[in-house]
Chains A and B, each alone.
Chain A
Amino acid sequence: MTPSRRATLQWMMSAAMLPLARWSPPAMAAESGAAPPFDIVADWPDTLPEPPPAKGYGRDPDLTKPVAPWPLTLSKAQRTTVDLLGDLILPADERSPGAGTLGVGAFVDEWISAPYPIQRADRAQVLGGLIWLDAQSRAMHGAAFDAITPAQRVELLDALTAAAPAAKMTAPVAFMDTLRYLFVLGFYSLPEGKADMGFIGDQPTPGDYPGPTPEALAHFAEVVDRLGLRES
């Protein structure tokens, strides 16, 4: 673990910090011994193009005019695939639009193009994963991921979210873990995503903090009851 990632994790839950969750990898089930989901599993690409040189925003950026100074690096085709995946991973429903349609693909591009260690590591996973996805799709269906049928995509995404992946699928599943969480982070930090979660906040509330609503308190009383805890 890089120091910065570790430091981030240490602080993530600290009471002093923002409620915004930070990326921490979900536990990868150890070598499950599960059979591979497909007859042929494409190899994970062993080399990736070097990212172009780029600078971070430095230790004293103008916080009133936030900008990410590094260039975006996804190709047009890659971006199309990412947007497509966004609308599959977080699809439109009655509460909010799909993540691809909402433009979260641009956030994914900004993230994996950034010159910082965590983002560089995620870049390798995401770019490697996009290459793998097309290779796997071609091996199975003779066409890139963009060009296969919706049912064929479902089959691939199900394999990429297996609870206990086969040995050959560990890297592709880790890629999908990263990409899924990038979409979660990018989507639910937007106003549309906050509304989807029913988030209430970010609004000045002068006077004493009102605390939980009667409805929230009633729910709390039920929880305490169910857990057999004395209400204090």
Chain B
Amino acid sequence: MTSGALDPAAAAADVIIVGSGAAGGMAAYSLTKAGLRCLMLEAGRDYDPQAEVNMFAPESDAPLRGAATPDKPFGYFDATVGGGWQVDGEPYTMQEGTDFRWYRSRMLGGRTNHWGRHVPRWGPYDFKPFSRDGLGVDWPIGYDDVAPFYDRVERMIGVNGGRIELENHPDSPAGCLMPPPKPRVTEMLIKAAAESLGIPVRPAHTAVLTRDMPDDVAPRSACFNATPCTRGCTIGAMFQTTTSFLPMAKATGRLTIVTDAMVSRVVMGAAGRAAGVEYVDRKTGVRHQAKARAVVLAAGTCETTRLLLNSGDGERPGGLANSSGQVGRNLTDSTGASFRAYVPALADRPRYNEDGIGGQHMYIPFWLYQQQKRGELDFARGYHFELGGRFGIPPAAALPRVWGPALKKAVRSASGATIGMTLRGEMIPNKDSYCEIDPAVKDRFGIPVLRFAFRWSQNELNQVAHGQRTAHAVFKRMNAVILDPALPPEKIITAGGEIIHELGTARMGADPRSSVVDSYGQTWDVGNLVLMDGAIFASGAHKNPTLTILALALRASERLAERFKSGAFA
């Protein structure tokens, strides 16, 4: 599909944007508003939530009652198009001994169409981790540099949430957040039990509108508290670029979108400048070139990295923008582990509508910074818990082995009596976790694929073990039956990539010798090549990355637009 004013074959754009997810969407929005003509190339197919999301269908309409399958790993009605843990014809490989998962979709809007929407702000410690514990590296910028962009992004995408009032969890200034929803009973009980143990529970920050957000082009309505958000949201209440940034950018008349356009490499021109990109039409296999005065890569952390590594030539055998040798290194994901319990005190509890805004309303932010500073913990960095527990079909593990009337009774009684605490923690970059080009394997377009190497260190294992003890202490405080098998941390930690927070493979820094980009995502080696996704993160934090991706993409886009204005690309 092509829309907008520009014929990519004929005219050079001001900026080519590769990818239409969180980072690419923000770039298109910000750059077109600044008057630049943008060509967006998106590998996935065109996608229209209004036409394609089956918002209200009961799971019983779907094959297998909507259960997850390898074709649809998060359930039949989940919005992921054309991908999942695998994309047909576009493999990735692993070093021996590595277990890494790479979640991709092939659709306009990328993974914002089916993401989890938890958007915590990062705090001062998260940008200066080396200064705190001597591990990893510091960012070249601090919280104060990013804070004004957080303020704006929260208002632009629509975030609801409450105050946190804890160390390293900065609160938003007045006017940034919409009011959070009331907690559910399960969340109130976790709060009562956790806080009696000194563990804080706070309203989560979620990218879901609880107030209407009028706009001439892309008006969005407040959430109506009913449908599973990972299917997508036809009323625009949850943030996805397909119902916000992309239509708004298109309305400027300065955005051309080409879908099914799989970019294979950055094409270099004279004087060490990028001239444009080469892409393959996924439907026909035909190769095209598009030209622009600047190129923005926002294809998602690993795909952006793959593009750099595949854009080397005789002069740059290690890949483009890689004079530091850091492209592909420092790959991190969040740690993950899930804990569950059956709470007898909640059996047969009074029914009410517990749908709410889809995901969690409350969560547990990391709370042990002082203990950590005093050396009382056996791991560095933090973790948080996302909370779950709703009426619905109880899990098998919460049902006794009975049949007949006793089973019907058990299901009724256990519905709403199971709770979950899901851990997400920070990983410290290590030399054994990276991605590189597999010298032997190509995808169906002939583009060399990524090969992953990944390893958790003892730090992450200790962190998950601590989380297990914490979750189980909370469960015990409510006299709950723990449903988790007693396993060591290496058995319960997720595989690398499984939390879908891959970051760091073209990190920013103050020194071109040890980093790939500056704090505006501009590559040190190629002045008109700017990276805008999670590849540029210097560390991972335990906090979900997308709010920070958006804030940094806004900051980078405005810097790029300024450089255009000052004639840098004339």
Would you give the shortest CB distance from B203 to chain A, in whole angstroms? Answer: 12
Task: For the complex, give the distance between the alpha carbons of A190 and B394 in Å.
Answer: 14
User: B44 — nearest CB in chain A belongs to which residue?
Assistant: A60
Bound Cα distance from A14 to B478, whole angstroms: 20
Q: Mark A26-51, 1 if CB is under 8 A from B, else 0.
A: 11000000000000000000000000
The answer to whether the Cβ of B172 comes within 8 Å of any Cβ in the partner chain is: no
Total contacting residues, chain B, CB less than 8 A: 116
Give chain A interface residues in 124-140, CB to chain B under 8 Å: none
Interface pair B357/A209, CB less than 8 Å apart: yes
Task: State whether A211 touches B183 (Cβ < 8 A).
Answer: yes
B390: chain A residues within 8 A (beta carbon): 19
Q: When each residue 174-208 of chain A gets 1 if its CB lies under 8 Å from chain B and 0 otherwise, what string results?
A: 00110011001110111100001111111111111
**Which of A4, A61, A91, A209 meets B181, CB within 8 Å?**
A209
Chain B contact residues, CB within 8 Å of chain A = 45, 51-54, 56-77, 80-85, 87-88, 101, 115-118, 179, 181-185, 188-189, 191-193, 195-196, 204, 210, 222, 224-231, 336, 338-340, 345-346, 349-361, 363, 386-388, 390-397, 399, 401-405, 407-408, 411-412, 415, 420-422, 477-479, 485, 494-495, 498
Interface segment out of the listed A73-81, A141-149, A217-225: A217-225
A121 at the interface (CB under 8 A from B): no
10 closest Cβ pairs, A-B complex:
A13-B420, A211-B182, A19-B392, A15-B360, A16-B116, A68-B63, A209-B181, A204-B224, A19-B390, A15-B386
| Alpha-carbon distance A29/B249, docked complex (angstroms) | 59
Q: Report how far A222 CA is from B412 CA in the complex, Å.
A: 20
Q: Write out, one digit per residue, whether chain A residues 149-183 have a CB within 8 A of any chain B CB (1) or not (0).
A: 00000000100111100000000010011001100
Selected A-B contacts with CB under 8 Å, 16 pairs: A7-B85, A7-B101, A14-B386, A20-B393, A22-B67, A24-B396, A26-B397, A89-B407, A157-B404, A180-B401, A199-B391, A200-B351, A209-B361, A211-B184, A212-B352, A220-B189
The CA-CA distance from A63 to B72 in the complex, in Å, is 11
Interface residues of A in 88-131 (CB under 8 A from B): 88-91, 93, 95-96, 107, 110-111, 114, 116-119
Task: With both chains docked as a complex, state the minimum distance between the C-beta of A208 and any C-beta of chain B, in angstroms.
Answer: 7
Contact B74 A202 (CB under 8 A): no
Q: Is the CB–CB distance between A201 and B226 below 8 Å?
A: yes
Q: How large is the interface on A (under 10, 10 to 19, 20 to 34, 35 or more residues)?
A: 35 or more
| CA of A22 to CA of B189, assembled, Å | 24
**In the complex, what distance in Å separates the CA atom of A144 from the CA atom of B148?**
74
Cα–Cα distance between A107 and B182 once the two chains are bound (Å): 37
| Contact B397–A201 (Cβ < 8 Å) | no
State the CA gap A119–B67 with chains docked (Å). 10
Residue contact B359 to A208, C-beta cutoff 8 Å: no
16 more CB-based (< 8 A) A-B contacts, given A22-B395, A213-B352: A15-B116, A16-B358, A16-B360, A18-B66, A21-B392, A24-B396, A27-B397, A68-B63, A91-B408, A161-B402, A189-B65, A196-B412, A199-B415, A201-B355, A204-B224, A209-B355
Q: A199-B415, A226-B345 are known contacts. Are A59 and B353 too (CB-CB below 8 A)?
A: no
- Could you tell me if B192 and A224 are in contact, using CB atoms closer than 8 angstroms? yes
Cα A203 to Cα B189 with chains together (Å): 25
CA distance A225 to B81 in the complex (A): 48
Q: Are B66 and A16 in contact (CB under 8 A)?
A: no
Q: Are B498 and A198 in contact (CB under 8 A)?
A: no
Instruction: Identify the closest chain A residue to B223 (Cβ).
Output: A209
**Assuming the A-B contacts A110-B64, A199-B392, A224-B189, are A56 and B403 also in contact, with contact meaning beta carbons closer than 8 angstroms in the complex?**
no
